[in-house]
Amino acid sequence: MLTGDIVAEPAVVYRTKNTARVEIKGLELGFDWAPYPNGHVSGFATWLRKEITSDFVNRWNFNNQALFELEDWAAAHDDSNDDLCRNLKSNELPVSPRYSFTINYDHTFEMADGSRVIPFIGVHWEDQSYLTYWNVDKHDFPADKTSTFDDSRDAFWMVNASIQYVSADDQWNVEAFSNNITD
C-alpha cells in the first residue's frame, strides 16, 4: 500500500481559437529557364501581406509570469483576469514573410557511359517574420524588457548545394547535399 501526500502540478489547457477575419494578399512570380542545353535556372519571388483584421481578444498564453510580472502561477493563467488579455488585431500571421526570393541553378553533365552528374546550387532569402501570432513587440506589458520573449525571426538567407549521380540505366541514383552551407 502506498502512503503519502499527493502533489498536483498546475497545467495550462491550450485551446485553438480561430480569428474572425484575416486578410491575406500576395503575389508569386516563378520562373523556369533553360539558357543552354543541360543548363537550368529556376526560382521565384513573393510578396505577401497578411494580418488579423478583426478584433481578436485573447488571454495571453506566452510567458505570462515574466511578461506580466506575476509570481503566482495561477494568477498568470487566470481566464477571468482581463489584464492578461490583448487584442491581436493588426498582428501578422506566423511564418509568413512579406518578401522572399529563391534562385536555383543546376547543370547536367552527360557521361560517355550514359550516366549523368548533376551539380545544384540554390540561394534563398526571406524577410523578417513572426514565429507566432502573438507578435510580442507590438504589445505593452508590465515587464520593461520583453526582448527575451521576442517571437520575431530576422530576415535570413541560405545557400543549399548538392551533387547527384544518376546511373546510365536510370534505375538508381545517389546524391550528396548540404542545406544552409553558410551557417
CA distance 160 to 124: 8
* pLDDT the model gives residue 22: 94
> pLDDT by residue (tens digit) across 14-24?
667 777 799 99
Average pLDDT, the chain: 92
Asked whether residue 11 carries a pLDDT value surpassing 70, the answer given is no
pTM > 0.75: yes
Question: What is the helix, strand, coil percentage profile of the chain, to 5?
Answer: 10, 40, 50
> pLDDT by residue (tens digit) across 109-129?
999 999 999 999 999 999 999
> pLDDT by residue (tens digit) across 46-77?
999 999 999 999 888 878 899 999 998 888 88
Residue (of 114, 150, 116, 160) closest to 130 by Cα position: 150
